[in-house]
Structure 1
Amino acid sequence: MKAARIHRHGPPESLVFEEVPSQVPGKGEVLVSVHASAVNFPDTLIIENKYQFKPELPFSPGGEVAGTIKAVGEGVTGFAAGDRVIAVCGWGGYAEEVLTTVDKLVRLPEGIDMEAAAALVITYGTSHYALKDRAAIQPGETLLVLGAAGGTGISAIELGKLMGARVIAAASTDEKLALCRASGADETINYATEDLRERVKALTGGRGVDVVYDPVGGHYAEPALRSMAWRGRYLVIGFTAGEIPKLPLNLVLLKGCSIVGVFYGGFSKAEPARYDAFMQELVGWLADGSLRPTITARYPLERAAEALRVVADRRATGKIMLTTSLGRGD
């Protein structure tokens, strides 16, 4: 089988597309034939050895795929060859096959598009957990999404609307903001040309926002915190800007607000039963059409380095997908 692998840590151009032996599942393992693999920001970190998980070289990046089970190992129950699944594998997904364990699988009902399924877990799962659990967002509350045109940002817009929130999307270009509006945002802010804090004040009548969803970090964090309403919740998702902000805690005191960490991977391990319930709700929304992941670009697996470069340069909007020959029907 073919895979895009990293032999030495480095930028996306370090990926090598090569033939590798097909693996045989061991005890408790499952071999999945990949139809589609999502490209996510953590993939840019793991190949440079900057992520919290550090797989042994050589390896393929790619934390979530959708496909069909090719083979199961000893002791595997509840899944069989031919089953349609999402695999939340952590890495290994930029390949025609990925070996994983049963606890990383989500059953995929018939009729759900494989690409949409592969786009579901990391971005939508993170945003679902962030908004429902960590923020406990309520209908009628106002949600500010930073970096709103990226994969996580779009998922936060869609889920925020699904949960009844008024959504303000902030991004750096009018083109990106058009995508945010198409995804359901009620209001938009171009923080390259507008003052974020003043614009939030105008859009909320001076009250501020109830929830901030921040996957960006950097210098927009403090003005977003200053834009919080009383009892607001500031969700720390990640730091795609590269800079971890140092926030003045007197603002937290004066606003009676909370800064809340969102670590979806930690949640899946610490609360597996709840994680599974959340995942089933997401899959249900995908099945009934309540969620429609915004896939803006598709690359064949052999062009994985190009796709990853777009994400590394922060040029991606929505979700970028890698497709295998199986997924394309070649």
Structure 2
Amino acid sequence: MKAILIDQWVTNLSDLRISTVPSPKCGANALRIRVTHAAITHVDLLYAQGRHQNNRRHVRLPLILGTEFAGVVLSAAPTSSFRPGTRVFGFGIGSFAEEICVDEHQVRPVPGHWTNAEACAVGGSAAVAFGALGEGCGNVKAGQSVLVLGASGGLGVAAIQVATALGAAKVIGVVGGAEKEAVVRSLGADAVDYRDDKWPTRVVELTDGAGVDVVFDPIGAVDDGLKCLKYGGKILVVGFAARGGVMEKVSMNKVLLKGAGVIGYRFGEQSRRSPAETSVIWRNTMALISHNKIEPVVYEQVYQGLENIPQALEDVSKRKVWGRAVVSIARNEHVHSESPRL
């Protein structure tokens, strides 16, 4: 099969090449899936460059890049909930390939009203957002206010929708540029532009001077988030997409003065440690999807074929993309006549 295989970390994304590799060997209980679409995430950039914390433990060379996908089940164990031909979306290392093998808990059925590309755009982002903002972490309540940093990205648009679904009375998204402001506003959130140095002041003004209850931070801007937070509020640190590998240093007296709770949330590590909790998160997330509380936001650029993955990665690295960039790996999205047993 064809895949984006690397045996050394890259500094130039254009150096990524398509390789011919053996089809993956699936375990007895694993699903073999034909990948129709692959999402492009910031994690993929870090993995390609060897700069993700998981590169020290879970993800090592050589490897096939890619972490999120949609596709069609080719084969499954007789006891599986999924029949061959069922459309699914999910996550697993090695999605920049024509086929992937994953455990059943790593995928969910594509909702009937979504294309594979749309399901791929949502991917794991909605579950990450729900895990961070829901009970046990952010614990967003009806009537509260939520600030979403990096709001026009794949994780940001999911966080806006999840916060709204949880009952947040006001959601504010921080973005860069008019086009991205429009994306955030289309989801029902207010928008501020981080290129205005006084944007934290604008956030506080939008909350009538009170500050927000919760900050959702996937980019690594805790210091700015503290400026926007009300006393006793929470900052949820879910990533460092804007840090370029250089971690932020925050004066802890600012945390004290705001009475702030700063909570780190790693969906992948949490899933490894508490799989039962992750199952509940996914069940609640899929319930939101079934009630149309979460909708896909697919970037407008068409990326066709594995050969376009380096360009898509480059576009993400240059912050051109809003929503989720999705690469079409195979055009045919065959739907089996049977529904999966859930």
Q: What CA distance in whole angstroms lies between the structure 1 residues aligned with 2:68 and 2:327?
A: 11
Q: State whether residues 69 and 123 of structure 2, in contact with CA within 8 Å, keep that contact through their aligned partners in structure 1.
A: no
Q: State whether residues 3 and 17 of structure 1, in contact with CA within 8 Å, keep that contact through their aligned partners in structure 2.
A: yes
Q: CA deviation at 1:211?
A: 0.6
Q: 1:59 to 1:326 in 2, by over 3 A?
A: farther
1:304-323 deviation line (CA, Å, top 9, x unaligned): 11001111222221110011
2:234 aligned with 1:230, yes or no? no
Q: What CA distance in whole angstroms lies between the structure 2 residues aligned with 1:298 and 1:140?
A: 39
Q: State whether residues 35 and 97 of structure 2, in contact with CA within 8 Å, keep that contact through their aligned partners in structure 1.
A: yes
Task: Report how many residues are paired.
Answer: 324
SS of equivalent to 1:21: coil
Query: TM-score scaled to structure 1, two decimals?
Result: 0.91
Q: 1:98 to 1:203 in 2, by over 3 A?
A: same
Q: 1:60 to 1:232 in 2, by over 3 A?
A: same
- Structure 1 match to 2:31: 30
What letter matches 2:319 in structure 1? R
Query: TM-score scaled to structure 2, two decimals?
Result: 0.88
Q: 1:216 to 1:87 in 2, by over 3 A?
A: closer
Q: What CA distance in whole angstroms lies between the structure 1 residues aligned with 2:178 and 2:119?
A: 29
1:102-148 deviation line (CA, Å, top 9, x unaligned): 33233445443212222233322211111113110011111111111
Q: 1:36 to 1:327 in 2, by over 3 A?
A: farther
Bigger Cα displacement from structure 2, 144-153 vs 56-65: 56-65
The equivalent position to 1:122 in structure 2, one of 108, 121, 124, is 124
Matches within 5 A, 1:282-297: 282-296=285-299, 297=301
- Structure 1 match to 2:177: 173
Q: What CA distance in whole angstroms lies between the structure 1 residues aligned with 2:284 and 2:114?
A: 14
Q: State whether residues 138 and 163 of structure 1, in contact with CA within 8 Å, keep that contact through their aligned partners in structure 2.
A: yes
What letter matches 1:292 in structure 2? E
Q: What CA distance in whole angstroms lies between the structure 2 residues aligned with 1:114 and 1:183?
A: 21
- Structure 2 match to 1:8: 8
Runs of 4 or more above 4 Å deviation: none
SS of equivalent to 1:65: strand
Bigger Cα displacement from structure 2, 284-293 vs 38-47: 284-293
- Structure 2 match to 1:45: 46
Point out where structure 2 has 5 or more consecutive residues left out of the alignment.
335-342
Q: State whether residues 197 and 227 of structure 1, in contact with CA within 8 Å, keep that contact through their aligned partners in structure 2.
A: yes
Q: State whether residues 71 and 333 of structure 2, in contact with CA within 8 Å, keep that contact through their aligned partners in structure 1.
A: no
The equivalent position to 2:316 in structure 1, one of 311, 316, 319, is 311
What letter matches 2:254 in structure 1? L
Q: 1:61 to 1:294 in 2, by over 3 A?
A: same
